Amino acid sequence: MTDDAMLPTGAWDTHVHIFAPSTHPYASTRSYSPLEAPLPALLAHSRSISATDSPTNLVLVQPSPYGRENSLLVEALASLNSDPALSSVRARGIAVVDSGSATAESLQVLHDSGVRGLRINLESSVNARYSTDELKTVIADSAAAISFLPGWVLQLFIKSTLWDDLLPFVMTLRVPIIADHLGGLLGASKSPVVDSANPLSQPGYASLVRLAREGRVYIKVSGLYRASNARPGFEDLEPIISALARDAPDQLLYASDWPHTGEAKDRLKRSSDAPEAFQVIDDRLVIANLRKWVAPVVWQKMCVDNPARLFSN
Ligand SMILES: [Zn+2]
């Protein structure tokens, strides 16, 4: 495999998960039950897409099956950040807490373990439905809860259409927002609403780019299978990702979204405790395509410089 299909030296993979139900049971409120994807498997994956011999820097994101129980995440961060064999790897985390009841003390404990933000996920569960006003309240409460923590972010997984409603509100926030998975933008293969000749006209694009250009929002270039049905290379996303690279090069973050969990729509007819396999994604093909779609300087920014600005503190 050539370097075209690899992440450069110093890269960050800003959105990965680990699952270990045999030792860390899922929350009873979960909407799905993924198979095992333990830390050693994550490290093997990370080595497989790294141009160096070692794994990339990593941001572990609390996945919804664990609810607000962040112990597996915290244990993994501790082991990554203390293992001398992984001294070149920096590991950070994005946790999920109840912003109403989380104490400053409990958030400080998370910070000390390497957590640098909170996740608000409206898309993994079909049951998680908020009105825009409720969402604003959750975001405002979360932003207030973490305001004393240096370098913390809020990570939102929402539909792109919400950015139009959220634009003035997000402008007033004092913490940066990370928009998961292309900010919910969709390729024409995924949505009949998206005009294949002009995918940038879709709702949310202009607002998302405006927020990015103002430095308020970082956009994760990740989980392309959530935005496109054009497997395996997701080519219908090229015009969107090329435009984001041109319009907001300093606000993009690469992520593999390993181990590629399924989607809420596929869970409607399945019980929440039925084991769910991961999607089979050719990460190196995705990387090779991204490198074709963005300028080399932007690739370096989205893999190395932009995430380092957020997560190396
Ligand atoms: Zn994910």
Per-residue pLDDT tens for 8-49? Answer: 999 999 999 999 999 999 999 898 999 999 999 999 999 999
- List residues, by chain if needed, whose CB lies under 5 Å from ion ligand 1: 257
Can you give the pLDDT at residue 29?
87
Q: Where are the domains of the chain?
A: 3-311
User: Percent of the chain, pLDDT > 70?
Assistant: 97
CA–centroid distance, residue 39 to ligand 1 (Å): 15
User: Does 81 have pLDDT greater than 90?
Assistant: yes
Q: DSSP assignment, residue 200?
A: G
CA–centroid distance, residue 180 to ligand 1 (Å): 8
Per-residue pLDDT tens for 202-246? Answer: 999 999 999 999 999 999 999 999 999 999 999 999 999 999 999
pTM score above 0.85: yes
CA–centroid distance, residue 222 to ligand 1 (Å): 8
CA–centroid distance, residue 93 to ligand 1 (Å): 13
Q: Cα separation of 37 and 27, whole Å?
A: 16
pLDDT, average across residues 78-88: 94
User: Does 125 have pLDDT greater than 60?
Assistant: no
Q: Cα separation of 183 and 217, whole Å?
A: 9
CA–centroid distance, residue 238 to ligand 1 (Å): 21
CA–centroid distance, residue 221 to ligand 1 (Å): 12
Q: How many H-runs (helices) and E-runs (strands) does the chain carry?
A: 10, 10
Per-residue pLDDT tens for 139-183? Answer: 999 999 999 999 999 999 899 999 999 999 999 999 999 999 999
Q: Spell out the alpha helix ranges (H) of 147-198.
A: 162-171
CA–centroid distance, residue 259 to ligand 1 (Å): 8
Please give the CATH number for the structural domain made up of 3-311: 3.20.20.140
CA 251 to the chain's CA centroid: 13
Report in angstroms the alpha-carbon separations of 91 from 174, 267, 312.
24, 31, 9
CA–centroid distance, residue 46 to ligand 1 (Å): 15
Q: Cα separation of 118 and 100, whole Å?
A: 13
Query: Mean pLDDT across the chain, nearest whole number?
Result: 93
